[in-house]
Structure formats: structure tokens, C-alpha cells
């Protein structure tokens, strides 16, 4: 992910390698985008600091269980 800002409150994303702070200079942002699209920036070796992307699914399952419309969902383990 490219962050087109001079600063970010998502420092954990930059620190883990999942985001790159590139600023607002047009030449730098275009060059960074071309680099990413060209495959020069691989996937980080660290886990995504924001989870696995399944929070909404887990929430829906929990609500369905609470309303009596589904079995109890499995416990979440990170």
C-alpha cells in the first residue's frame, strides 16, 4: 500500500513493511506506483498488523448465533 501523505497515523503499517510512505510529490508518487505495479515491491515477511480481513464475517456469525439463527462460532485465535 502506498500512503500519499507526508505523515501517517498508521505507523505500524509502515514499520511492518505493509505500507510505504511516499509523500505528495507527483514524480515520487508516480515512480513509486510504477515500482509497485512492476513487482519491485514484494509482500512483507511479517503478518498484516490489521488482522486477516475476516472481522466482518466473524461479527456476522456471532450476531447470528446471539439471535439463535446459527451455531456458536469457533473461538478466534490470532
State the residue range of the domain holding 8.
Answer: 2-46
Same domain, 8 and 25: yes
Query: pLDDT by residue (tens digit) across 40-69?
Result: 887 788 888 888 889 999 999 999 999 999
Same domain, 6 and 41: yes
pTM over 0.85: no
Same domain, 41 and 73: no
Same domain, 7 and 32: yes
Which among 67, 26, 17, 74 is positioned nearest to 47, based on CA atoms?
17
Instruction: Tell me which residue has cell 500512503.
Output: 3
Same domain, 42 and 56: no
Query: pLDDT by residue (tens digit) across 13-38?
Result: 999 888 999 999 999 999 999 998 99
Same domain, 30 and 65: no
Q: Which residues contact 24 (CB under 8 A, 6 or more apart)?
A: 4, 5, 6
Residue 31 pLDDT: 94
Same domain, 42 and 6: yes
Count of the separate structural domains present in the chain? 2
CA-CA distance, 33 to 26, in Å (whole number)? Answer: 10
Amino acid at each position: 500500500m502506498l500512503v500519499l501523505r507526508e505523515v501517517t497515523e498508521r505507523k505500524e503499517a509502515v514499520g511492518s513493511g505493509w505500507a510505504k510512505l511516499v509523500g505528495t510529490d507527483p514524480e515520487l508518487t508516480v515512480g513509486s506506483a510504477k515500482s509497485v505495479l512492476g513487482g519491485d515491491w514484494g509482500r512483507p515477511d511479517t503478518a498484516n498488523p490489521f488482522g486477516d480481513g475476516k472481522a466482518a464475517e466473524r461479527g456476522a456469525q456471532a450476531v447470528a448465533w446471539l439471535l439463535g439463527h446459527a451455531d456458536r462460532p469457533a473461538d478466534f485465535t490470532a
